[in-house]
Homo-oligomer: A and B are copies of this chain.
Amino acid sequence: MKAKITVTPKKAVLDPQGKTVQTALEHIGFTGIKDVRIGKYIEIELEGTDREAALKSISQASHKILSNPVIEDYSVEIE
């Protein structure tokens, strides 16, 4: 089983890394970019087949150590 977690800065939080990438993309000629946000992507390979339990424990892990819930949102997907 594989858990895919994406952690992104909350909408209200400034993302200077994203702004830098946006500027870089515009500099090399990419147009029509309104906004860039940069986050983390975490892939966790799990033992077992209980999706329900996995989702619960991974959500807990995301909240506790994989993200900072004050400034970041996370989403978990099990496959």
A residues within 8 Å of B by Cβ? 6-8, 18, 21, 24-25, 28, 30, 32-48, 57, 61, 64-66
Count of this chain's copies in the oligomeric assembly: 2
- Residue of B24, B35, B48 touching A65 (CB-CB under 8 A): B24
Main secondary structure of the interface of A (DSSP, over half): strand
Q: Are B41 and A34 in contact (CB under 8 A)?
A: no
Q: Are A46 and B33 in contact (CB under 8 A)?
A: yes
Chain B minimum-CB-distance residue to A44: B36
Chain B minimum-CB-distance residue to A24: B65
Given contacts A24-B65, A28-B64, contact A42 B36 (CB under 8 A): yes
Instruction: Please measure, in the bound complex, the distance between the C-alpha atom of A64 and the C-alpha atom of B21, giving whole angstroms.
Output: 12
